[in-house]
Structure 1
Amino acid sequence: MNVGSVYSMLKRMENKTKLKITPHMLRRYFANMRKEAGWRLEMISQALGHKHLDTTVRYLNLIDDDLIEASNEFYERRSSIYRVQELL
């Protein structure tokens, strides 16, 4: 499918349903559904093609509790790699 076909299809849907849908809205929906399905932030970031996790964080509009949880998960998975216990 090319870009023009996607926009054309979404415009036809809008005319029928009176709901405006954009490719960007569908992309955000995809990302949020992956988050709710339990995907790790890194996996969502990779699926979206983001270079940096902070882009994905802003994209998902994560709230503070979600950020703390994601940070803790990242720390738990990576602490041995970075030898954090030796630094403490």
Structure 2
Amino acid sequence: MILEFWILCAIATAVIAAVRGGHSLFWLLIGCILGPIGIVAAIFVPSLKAKDPSVAAKRQGEVDELARPLRETDTKAVSVKSKDH
């Protein structure tokens, strides 16, 4: 019973955050860890979909800055495939 409630809280946290412009997988994990507190956190964190374009652009820039290392490719990666093909 408690496990089902915790899973429901995690899903609700992810949905609330996605509607407000947040990353749903990140907030799903927060909801898994914090449960009902995650729902409250998702509600009170400032929305990335602000009505003022300058505020929305600033917040989106912050999100892009955090996600940039994840998107950059490592040029020193070693391939397992041989170059004969």
Alignment TM-score > 0.5, same fold? no
Task: Specify which structure has the higher proportion of helix.
Answer: 1
- TM-score by structure 2 length? 0.29
Which structure has more relative contact order (CA 8 Å, sep 6+)? It is: 2
- TM-score by structure 1 length? 0.28
